[in-house]
Structures are given as C-alpha cells and as structure tokens.
Amino acid sequence: MNLRKCVSCGKRSDKFDFIRINRIKNKDSSFTICVSNIGNRRYVEGRTAYLCSDLSCFNLAKKKSRLEKNLKCKIGPKVYDEIESFINKI
C-alpha cells in the first residue's frame, strides 16, 4: 500500500484516497500547479502535496499556507479557487 499524508490534517491513507496537487516546472523556469483526480494513477513529475477531499481540510491548508510550504512556491487565489471547485464537485 502506498501511504501518504494529508498536508492539512495529517491523516495517513492510501495515496489514491487523496487529491493530488503537483507543482510542475515549465521550460521557462516558471511553475504550473496541477490538480489531479483522486483515482488518477497517471504519474506526473514534480513536487506533490496530498490533500483530503474534505472542504475543512482545504480551508485549514489555505489559512496556514500549508500547500505553499509543501510545494515550495507561491499559490495564487485563482489556483485556490480551482482546488475548491474541484473539491465541491466530488
């Protein structure tokens, strides 16, 4: 089993139970944030943070800048809105 930890609440579970957020480095040294589906098993290169699909976990991670610390980059409000809408669809 591939155990991972939620950056917000610290819950440990199989990596396919979480939302995966990737920081992908572009050719021009900028970064793109990619939000992956929970069941998506496709490998994406770059730094990865795992987050529960619970809105309270997302709000805590946003408030405490835990995604920014884990991914080691600034995250704009547009990306946070994208992650929140992704969670609301689940």
Nearest to 13 by CA among 46, 45, 57: 57
Task: Read off the pLDDT of residues 12-61 as tens digits, 9 standing for 90 and up.
Answer: 999 888 888 989 888 776 788 888 765 665 667 788 899 998 999 999 99
Backbone angles phi, psi at 34, to 5 degrees: -120, 130
One CATH from 3.60.15.10, 3.30.1490.20, 3.30.1230.10, 3.30.70.100 for 3-89: 3.30.1230.10
| SS3 assignment for 36-78 | ECCCCCCCCCCEEEEECCCHHHHHHHHHCCHHHHHHCCCCCHH
Angle between the N-to-C axes of helices 55-63 and 77-89, in degrees from 0 to 180, rounded to the nearest 10: 170
pTM of this prediction?
A: 0.85
